[in-house]
Structure 1
Amino acid sequence: MSTAPIPIIVRTELPERIQAAYTTRFVDEAVQRNRADFHLLSGAGLHPRSGDVVVARVTKVGNHKRIETPTSRKAILFEGALVMVAYGNRYAADQFLAYVPESLEATSLVAAGGLAGDVVAAHTRVSAPTEIEPLGLLATRTGVVNLADYAPHVNTPVTTPVKRNERPEVIGVLGTSMNSGKSTVMANLINGLAKSGRTVTAGKITGTGAGNDPMIYHDAGAVRVLDFTDFGYPTTFLLNMEAILSLTINLVQQLTEADTDVVVVEIADGIFQEETAKLLRDPIFHSTIDQVLFAATDALGARSGISELKSVGLQVAAASGVLTSSPLATREANDVLAKYETPVFGTFDLSQPEVAESLLLRK
């Protein structure tokens, strides 16, 4: 009787020069502390999971010509360079749809923050992805290293949000899609609230791991910033709803300190993205988010989005975003949103203390 061959797992030493990516920053800190604790595992018997850390060689530079370092510097990629990234699924309507591969075969860099995955669809305006060849999964004597092993926070399963009267006001920032102006809107709101004397903390609940948004929130005046990568997730695409809801509660709790006046959180992508659409309809989310600031690219998107948000019972504070770059689009939005009693504020007007303060429910 024939038997299946036993998969051969090969162990090799960690190469000397590796450029760690932003998503792997906490793992990189551990590697720098004691490099001897780590090695690489390769072989046909290995099947990566989302969050598993891989060291790979850049074989062809494509769409992503730079990789974001742990300090959020954009390092230029050269063919032959070794990078440390994490496997993950990616949903980016303006870039790639990608999934964690089933093996350590050649794959792609699908996000500059450090995400590896197999591309199955791409926007027509983006070039082919940067190609990488995995050398092996990062491992210790206890097994393959996953981002969650070294994350500073644990996404403990929880289903009961903190009561409204026991936490600060929480404002969610959503948008019609990628590049609708969410992060800029959020940063200006943070800045306006901080200027008014409010103590503001900020976070990003969903999305793809990258340092740009957290850095902007910090620069705008948030005294503390966290996102899903601080809980060990390289991305939240295809994460089950129980985990996303727990993350929503845990992130807000971590951002709530004794002197916190307002917590502002961003939800990535558009409101029809699968995880976001489910999140917006969940009572746990409604109990955690007091109101929403909505970013849109045009008046039609603003009306459609705000209608959708109100239909699921969310309170919308105002509309803003890319559309306010155009005086005509802003006028159109004001006209069509009058029936919803939703004001439209210019993105950069939100940095004015009186404008930011006017949006708060708890004056």
Structure 2
Amino acid sequence: MKHDIQVGPGTFPEAHLIPLSAARLASAKRAFSVRRVDLDMAAGIVTGTPRAGDVVIADVVSLGHHQRLEDAHGRRATMFEGDSIIVAYGDRYAPDQFEAHVPATLEACELVAGGGIAARMIRKAGKARTPTRIAPLGLLADATGRRLNTRDFALPMPEAQASDPLVIAVIGSSMNSGKTTTMAALARGETLAGRRVAAIKVTGTGSGGDLWSYHDAGAELVLDFTDAGFATSHRLTDHQRENIFELLLARCRARPGLDLVLVEVADGLYLDETERLVRSEIFRRSVDGIVFAGADAMSAIAGAEWLIGHNLPVLAVSGAFTASPISASEAAARSPRPVLDRAQMLNAEITVTELAESRCAA
């Protein structure tokens, strides 16, 4: 299969390079979204039409919704008006914050994610504040005038497979339905049960919070779409999203002795991009089971039934609603699959490995 997740040399034409001092670059706050980019390659800036993944240095004009910038190590640096920041252009889709697209010019735009995404806001949720405004100075480029783009720094496809782990996906009804909490609880419980676990997030907006949660819960290998060269996954082609999934899964399978890979798919099933990935041939072929996370009992049951109706292997239902024993009881009375709360997963009372093995034996 052809992989297009790495752009490689010569993707963008050379442009007139405007020198930028090393001191100016060093003083700029660097975002999580560009964590894989070798910024030592930056020799200056160029102008032109921005593209998703382009690395941009910008000045903070006015503070709004995001007042801190997450760096590669998870530190959330306080921003001040006049600060210079290094972020990536990208499209964002977040129903509780912003929908935003890569702008057509280098004119002032918005910082639409704390992990460092520059874009033009299309619309926002009612509870979201006005976004932080930034003024791009230019696109970072190497000494030849070639733009630095996150895609050029993707992890390579491994040459060999060293393990054959079980693959369990966590899919949800929406943002904030409890997917990451479910992922972390599963990672913790399976680790306590003596299994070696990896956790990957294949779609979303560049930010380290979910990865830190997986790591803290015991996952020995954590990866996301930024490791595949993308600052965000919104508005990618189906082929690109499937390639991200394939690459990250291959990186896990290249690790000897791994027992389980947990896969988080961002947002909810009603996002067309999520639905298409979940229904893709590579997803069906690769995933051994699914835990569906719902914001409430009704969405949890409806989502699980939708997946089952599309012949996808749902093992259990969980999510934010299980924080309420009352809601969990409502769901358990109607659920086509077991309802697992966080404590059950954390303490390995019921493991997804056991559920998957039972399903295969049935």
- Residues 33-70 of structure 1: CA deviation (Å, up to 9, x unaligned): x46x521123xxx0010000000000000000111011
Q: In the superposition, relative to structure 1, how do residues 155 and 273 fare at CA in structure 2: closer, same or farther (>3 Å)?
A: farther
- Amino acid corresponding to residue 172 of structure 1 in structure 2: A
Q: In the superposition, relative to structure 1, how do residues 354 and 348 fare at CA in structure 2: closer, same or farther (>3 Å)?
A: closer
CA deviation after TM superposition for structure 1 residue 245, in Å: 1.1
User: In structure 2, what is the Cα distance between the partners aligned to 1:51 and 1:155?
Assistant: 19
Match of residue 171 from structure 2: 174
Q: Secondary structure at the match of 2:186?
A: helix
Q: In the superposition, relative to structure 1, how do residues 224 and 89 fare at CA in structure 2: closer, same or farther (>3 Å)?
A: same
User: In structure 2, what is the Cα distance between the partners aligned to 1:346 and 1:65?
Assistant: 34
- Residues 184-239 of structure 1: CA deviation (Å, up to 9, x unaligned): 11001000000010011110011111001111101100111111101110001111
- Aligned pairs for 1:207-246 (under 5 A) are 207-246=204-243
Match of residue 270 from structure 1: 268
1:348 matched to 2:343? The reply is: yes
Could you tell me whether the CA contact under 8 Å between 2:19 and 2:43 is conserved in 1?
A: no
Match of residue 98 from structure 1: 100
Q: Secondary structure at the match of 1:70?
A: coil
Could you tell me whether the CA contact under 8 Å between 2:17 and 2:44 is conserved in 1?
A: no
Match of residue 159 from structure 1: none
- Aligned pairs for 1:99-248 (under 5 A) are 99-142=101-144, 143-151=146-154, 153-154=155-156, 167-248=164-245
1:17 matched to 2:27? The reply is: yes
- Residues 307-352 of structure 1: CA deviation (Å, up to 9, x unaligned): 1111111111111111011111111101121xx2x01111232111
- Amino acid corresponding to residue 310 of structure 1 in structure 2: I
1:315 matched to 2:316? The reply is: no
TM-score by length of structure 2 reads 0.89
Q: Secondary structure at the match of 1:302?
A: helix
- Amino acid corresponding to residue 149 of structure 1 in structure 2: D
- Residues 140-185 of structure 1: CA deviation (Å, up to 9, x unaligned): 124011012223x1479xxxxx9xxx72110000110000110011
Q: Secondary structure at the match of 2:230?
A: coil
Match of residue 71 from structure 1: 73
Match of residue 38 from structure 1: 43
Could you tell me whether the CA contact under 8 Å between 1:21 and 1:84 is conserved in 2?
A: yes
Structure 1 unaligned runs (5+)? 1-7, 157-161
Q: In the superposition, relative to structure 1, how do residues 192 and 241 fare at CA in structure 2: closer, same or farther (>3 Å)?
A: same
1:82 matched to 2:77? The reply is: no
CA deviation after TM superposition for structure 1 residue 10, in Å: 6.2
Could you tell me whether the CA contact under 8 Å between 1:155 and 1:246 is conserved in 2?
A: no
Identity, % of aligned positions? 40
User: In structure 2, what is the Cα distance between the partners aligned to 1:219 and 1:316?
Assistant: 26
Q: Secondary structure at the match of 2:184?
A: helix
CA deviation after TM superposition for structure 1 residue 305, in Å: 0.4
Q: Secondary structure at the match of 2:349?
A: helix
Match of residue 253 from structure 1: 250
Moved more, 290-299 or 80-89: 290-299
Match of residue 3 from structure 1: none
Match of residue 5 from structure 1: none
- Size of the aligned set, in residue pairs, is 337
